[in-house]
Structure 1
Amino acid sequence: MMMSCACCKESPDENKKQTKKRKTKCSWKIRKGRKKKGNGLKSLVDSDKHRSAAQEILRVGNENIAARVFKFQELAAATKNFSTSNLLGEGGFGRVYKGRLEGTNEVVAVKQLDRNGLQGNREFLVEVLMLGLLHHQNLVNLLGYCADGDQRILVYEYMPLGSLEDHLLDLSPNKKPLDWYARMKIAVGAAKGLEYLHDIANPPVIYRDLKASNILLDEDYNPKLSDFGLAKLGPIGDKSHVSTRVMGTYGYCAPEYALTGQLTKMSDVYSFGVVFLELITGRRAIDIRKPTHEQHLVHWFNFSTPSPNMISSFGTIVQAEPLLRDKKKFAQIADPLLQGKFPIKGLYQALAVAALCLHKEASSRPLIGDVVTALEFLINPSNDTAEDSEQSIPKKSSPPHSEIAGNDSVLT
């Protein structure tokens, strides 16, 4: 009696006629089940579940991802079997552990994604592809990944000072608050990271999840953007936006993106404005512990200051006097932990930049490159006048040409 193979349902006669076809079909099933060599990313992208999320990114990278492939045993040993004593933090997609690689003795951050989360699976794939292709001093460095079985683990350079949130919004009693210039330095670095994604990466990348907890700090308080699982390739050609499901963190999302799902670079600029306002005020984007009218930082800011509608274009304020009339009121907006140690004129400049980034009309927000130019002016103490600073600082020299910093109509 002729037996048919388990994966074919033809009768014996049909089986005889279709021998060659059956063999091809069966051998495909065997090949598909074999463990593939290489980094394994192609097999993940070939899955229907992940193809739409990463197919284009993999094509752009020509399947050449510069990241080391780790075995699960290596990372288990590095983290002492993912011990709670090594736990650095926990987010929506998984936990991050401090680890030390055997052999090199290198200290790393190991992010183990939730194996039961579909979104975590997608985040893993996009993050490997994005950070495997993008490299900048203000983006966290992805060292490698592990995709053994159902394990999805990412390995990053270790950032010893943790996140901006740890030093700004969740400040422990034994930590010294960030001073004004450290805050401006962090703002500049974060903006430069976005500038790289928007203006240098080809095609451009929209980060989509800028917030204090995603800005990591090295030992010198240099910031690096992390967590690229929600990043999207930006519009190319004559397209003005990318249509996508609304994702991100409440309080940081641009209003037009939250309403329409139309994602642009200006969505990131709005999120930067929220983070910059957190740096200036020391307040959270959303804080339900505050009185009702102060719970949403942007709404509180708009209520406490004149509307940015008075700003007709980047670098030109139509009615500067109302904006800068009440110095005492503006000084009260600054983080009380600064104890008044900031340049008054620098505070005005910073608030003007924040207002521009938070403009309700996306088309009226500045490009992130112009924001970088403006903020670089703010990180130099020598640009502050002696009478505006708590300390004795050299008299302000002529500012470099820039849309904000070089235009005294914005500052005075």
Structure 2
Amino acid sequence: MKRVVITGLGAVTPLGNTVGEFWQNSINGNSGAGKITHFDSEKFKVHFACEVKNFDPKTYLTHNEIKRSDLFSQYAMYSAAEALKDSGLELEKMDPFDTGVIWGTGQGGMWTFESEVMEFTKGDGTPRFNPFFVPKFIANMASGMISMKFGLQGINYTTISACATGNTAIMDAFNYIRLGKAKVIVSGGSEAAITPASIGGFSIMKAMSTRNDDFATASRPYDAERDGFVMGEGAGALILEEYEHAKARGAKIYAELAGAAMTADAYHMTAPHPEGTGAIKAMQLALNEAGINTEDIDYINPHATSTPMGDLVELNGINKLFKGSRNLDISATKSMTGHLLGAAGAAEAILSIKAIENGIIPPTINLHRIDENIPKDLNIVFGKAKEKNINYALSNAFGFGGHNATLIFKKFQ
């Protein structure tokens, strides 16, 4: 099997629209939460979210690309452009069939779908839809538009596994490169789901925090009074590259992707398995593939969305597998970003890689009183970032439908 390394990063997040801003705000423990500005939420139960701020698609996108794309595709192209620029790849010198795109999204073009359908219902029943209605909202269009923008003619498709999507897209890219079917793959995920239907839908499920009077601290993984996740949006892009190809061109290598695994809970539409069996197995399989043991993992970026059941099930699973390893530190960065759904895994993969690169673990913020049911043997980084040499970082992502996906990144040697 070929080795796979990360040679470029790009991000559009509630904490910044470059990787540098995203990383700095993360290690500073800043919250990305604010009142919803995308639409009037007055009649909704939830009035806040972690929105992307000051986003200017014209930085990387043309007028026609903006006009013909949903916001989730704009986030995707923007982050991919940043990642490709960061990688230093000279695409014009490469065989275009050696470079592909494997992207992910949980919901696709929600803004386009909602706005077009709502406009239709206001009329007399005569169908008057935008000619770009279907191309803008279908979930695969982000990967398609990235490939068209940069002339990437290799593998190209979209994965959908709810909130595990970012990790499953990266895992697929990892495996295609390892098998020699591509030299370079742009991978990651994007989401633009701060919409009336999405906020309303998750609210009625009682999945989201309703802490409207204290939204800056609403995303509070592991807190005894956590009451649900905070919706986020944005994108994360990674350039996965075959090691020998990266070495030959003298690329900067951020980290190596050492292991990845997926499992299914086969239990419930929205709830995790109470024993965490699928999550535990995914982590164990990823460790096996990386050829390492539990004591080798220095840092875990958990799924940790701030839901009462989900946070606890995952930590119990980690505790059972890692058996109280004193070398292990955990930090839940969704406390700052909110939950980016299909983009969450990609954004958290970037933070895991930056943690390895800089020897700093971002904090878990908003802890007021720790849940007494959380295992006492776990080292959770609260409040402030922690300096630590990190050789291996593990990142979890789980999704409705029982999807579990684990990635393990390794300090490049």
TM-score over 0.5 for the pair: no
**Greater share of helix residues, 1 or 2?**
1
Greater length-normalized contact order (CA 8 Å, ≥ 6 residues apart): 2
TM-score normalised to structure 1 length: 0.27
